[in-house]
Structure 1
Amino acid sequence: MGFDPRDWSATPHVSRDGKARGERVTSNVEALLRENDSLRREVQRLELELDRLRRLQWQRPRRESSSRQSWHQSSSESSPRVTAAQVQRWGASLAGQTGWTDLRAAGLGALIDQLNRSSFHSQLSLQQRLDRLVNGLGTDLLAAVGARPSKRSMAVLAAFALYGVRASEWLEEDSARVVMDLRQRQRQAQTSNSGRRTRSDRRSTDRHWRQADARLEALSVLGLDASATQDAIKQAFRRLVKQHHPDVGGSADAFRRVNDAYQLLTA
C-alpha cells in the first residue's frame, strides 16, 4: 500500500504529558511530490542516455579499426617506405665512417647473397625477404637504389640484408656501427670462402674487387655514381679542374686526386 504524507499530519500523537498533538510536517507537500516525480523522470532519462552511450562504445572500436586500416592502405599506396633521398643520405653517412675504405663493392654483393642463403627462406632474394616482412619494403628499397647501385647503395642493401626491417634505425642512429658490422661480416665471408677457392681464383677475385673499388672511388671523387657515362665523367673533370687547379687558388692535393680519378676512369 502506498503512503501519502498528507495523511501523516492528521494522525494524532500522544506526548509524554498525555496530550494528543498532530505531527509537524512541511506544508508544501504537493511541491515535494511534484519534485519527486520530476527526479524519477530525470533518472529514467539518464538511464536511457547511459544505455545509448554504452552501445556507441561497443561500436566505436570497429569503426576506428576500419578507419585506421583504410588510412594505412591509402598511405602505403601513396608513399614509398624507402626513398632515393634516404638511400643517398645513408650512403653518404656510411662513407664518412672509419673503415669505409675496407669495404669492397663486390664483397658487399657477396655478403648480401650469403646473408640471403643463411636466412630462414634461403631461396628468396633480398627484395622478396623484405617484402614478406613488410609489404612493399623490398620493392621500394630496390627502386630507390636503382638498376646500377654504387658502393654506397650496396652498403645500404647489405645493411638491410643484415638487420632486416630495423636497418633504417641503425642507418639513421649509428652508421659507424653499421660499417663495423659490415666489415666484420665481410671478413668472415672472405675467410669461409677462401678455403674453397684455389690460389689463382683468389688472385682473380681480389683483382676484380680492387678494380671495382678503385672505379667506384674514382667516381666518388668526381661526384658521380656507377651509372655515369664517359661524357658525364669528362664534364665533371673539366668543372673540378677549374675549381681545384692551383693556378686559380685551388688545392694541389685536390687537383691531383681529381686528375688521378679521371685518368683511371678513361684508361
Structure 2
Amino acid sequence: MGFDPRQWTSASQPSQRQRVTSNVESLLVENDALRHEVRRLRAELERLRLHQVRENRHRSKESFNDATEVSGITAFHIDAWGQVLSQQVGWGDLRLRSLIALIERLNRKSFHPKLNLYQRLDRLLPGFGSELHAAMAGSLTKKRGAVLAAFAFYGVRASEWLNEDPQRVVQELLKHQESTQSSRRTRSDRRSTDRKRSGSSDERLAAYTILGLQYGSTEYDIKKAYRRLVKQHHPDLGGSTEDFHKISEAYQFLME
C-alpha cells in the first residue's frame, strides 16, 4: 500500500499520537482526485478510439459499396458500350481474337487462374459476374468482345470507364493486346506468335460454338452441353459420326 502520512504519528510522543494535519492531507486528496481524473480520461480516450475504429470500418464498407454498386447490367448496356467503343480512335486496330487472348491472359494472371472471368467477378462482387454473363448471351462480336475485355482489365469498375472515358478503354486494350514478352521479340517472331495465338483463339471460339455455348462458359456448362450433345449425336444412337467427332474434339480442347 505504501506510506500514508495521514497515519503517521510521532514516536517521541506516543501518548499524544497527533495526526499530521498539514498541507500533506490536502495534497493527498488532490492526488486522489487527479488519479480518478486520469482514469476517467483514459476510459474516454479508449471509448473514442473504439468509436473511430467503427467509423472507419463503416466508411470503408460504404466506400466499397459505392465503388462496386451495380445498377443492373443488361444486353442493352453491352451493346451501347460496344457502339461507343467502335467510334473511338484506334478501334480499327483491335481484333476479336486478340481481345479473347487478352481476356485469357488476364485470367491466368488473376488470383485464381482456374476461374473464368464471370466467376472471378463474382468473387469480387457476388452476383456481378452472373449478371454480366446473362447480359453477354448471344454471339461474341468484336464490340461485345471489347466490352468483355474491359471488364477483364478493369474488373467491377469497368462500367465507370466505359461511361466516362471510352477512348482510354480502347487505348488500354490496344496497349495490352500483346503481352510484354511479345513486344520484345523481332517482327518475324511476333507475326509467327500472333498467327499461333490467333489460331488458338479462333479454335476456342469455334469450340464454344460447336457446343452451343457462349464464350467464357463455365466448366460445368461445358460438361453439361457435351453430355447433352453426345446423347443426340452418338453413332450408336443414330447420330452422325462426323458431328460426334467434332463435339468430342471441341470438348477436349476446352477442357485442356
Q: TM-score range by the shorter chain?
A: 0.3 to 0.5
Higher Cα Rg: structure 1 or 2? Answer: 1
